[in-house]
Amino acid sequence: MLALKLAYRNLMGARLRTWLNVVVLSFSFVVIIWNKGILNGWDQQARRDTIEWEIGGGQYWHENYDPYDPFTIEDSHAPLSDATVRAVAAGKLTPILISQATMYPEGRIQNVLLKGIDPGQQIVKLPSAHLLTAGDDIPAMIGRRNAKKNKLAIGDYVTVRWRDANGTFDAAEVRIAHIFKTNVPTLDVGVLWIPLPKHQKMMQLEGEATILVTARETGAAGSIIGWDFKDHYFLLSDIREMIEMKSIGGAIMFIVLMSLAMLAIFDTQVLSIFRRQKEIGTHIALGMTQRQVIALFTIEGAMHSVLAAILAAVYGIPLLAYQASVGWSMPAGTDDYGLTIADTIYPAYSVGLVFGTTLIVLITTTIVSYLPSRRISKMEPTDAIRGKIQ
């Protein structure tokens, strides 16, 4: 208790030097927590949107399907078994048929993925109900990015050409029935959605599909011969790797900020020990052991982080709370990078994040404060009282 009182008195006596260190360290607190909160918010938003819009409770892929290899798409389809058809009817699965096609908006050539989906499905958030139609008309829906790129609007007709399962080329006019907005670019960029029955008829693939999306409530529906189940861990790997890469950048910023703050505290401790040699000798002469004096100076340095945490809470909590309520608006064009990212990211802070950051800073500050304090163990009390430099 005595060491704490002496440390606090000495820090307050230093005045400007102490508060400069505390302000810099508190700034590091706030920036580190803010940066990690942004990444956590982005991660949660991207996962939530991808699950709701695209992957549901997981997906069954045809054994030949590889989304990164367009040459596999032609052979990536198979008929649905009776059990699978019953699961689809029960709302546990929804099939999607994927094929390659060419679209000609305003006479220009645009390669697209033609994806057929059941207009009545309720498993993913994709607004497939807009594909309901009667007659021979082929309705289609596209994402906002795709519509903007190809200058298409609701009600427009565009020519689409494809090659069916027998290798025969065919073409038809499709009507843009709906333009949807999503944060998941794999549903938007270069994709044209049409009703599954019409797509199967166009491709001469009656009753076949490429992937099966499972309901979030049921997840995997058991083993299906010829199909491989992909869980959330696999399907969200791109998002996880992106967040990990961004976290590395955040770690670099963390190291830079901490290095600046720790350098200031280290220099302060060295200067303090140099200027207070007589005080150190007096403490030892009055009965304090060298370990106790070292502990006193170490506590002084560590208290910088305590004061910094208090100061950071004073202005950081309102600032971070406001940021969490209004979010961080992303620059225009960010959604064209192929990342699952919303127009506005809302930071996500946790108790573990705040206390973890505080503990790391406290431990680091304590170590940095202890290093120059070791010099006290080499001082002789009589020399220190005379101000003789070792």
Rounded Cα distance between 58 and 52, Å, is: 11
Predicted TM-score of the model (pTM):
0.80
Residue 192 or 343, more confident:
192
User: Cβ of 134: how many Cβ atoms within 10 Å?
Assistant: 5
Q: Which helix (H) or strand (E) holds 13?
A: helix 2-14
Categorize the per-residue pLDDT at 235 as very low, low, confident or very high, splitting at 50, 70 and 90.
very high
Terminal Cα distance for the chain, rounded: 30
Give residue-wise pLDDT tens across range 148-194.
888 999 999 999 999 998 889 999 999 999 999 998 888 998 899 99
Q: What percent of the chain has pLDDT over 70?
A: 87
Closest CA relative to residue 184, chosen from 344, 332, 53, 59: 53
The pLDDT of residue 333 is above 70: no
Three-state DSSP class for residue 54: helix
pLDDT of res. 382 = 62
Residue 356 or 287, more confident:
356
Give residue-wise pLDDT tens across range 28-39.
888 888 888 888
**Hunting for tokens 């499905």 — which residue is that?**
121
Closest CA relative to residue 39, chosen from 259, 255, 326, 251: 251
The most distant pair of C-alpha atoms in the chain lies apart, rounded to whole Å, by: 104
At 276, which amino acid appears? R
Enumerate residues 6+ apart whose C-beta is below 8 A from 167. Answer: none
As beta bridge partners, residue 159 has 104, 173
Q: Is 168 exposed, middle or buried (0-12, 13-18, 19+ CB in 10 A)?
A: exposed
Average pLDDT of the segment spanning 185-207: 92
User: Cβ of 237: how many Cβ atoms within 10 Å?
Assistant: 11
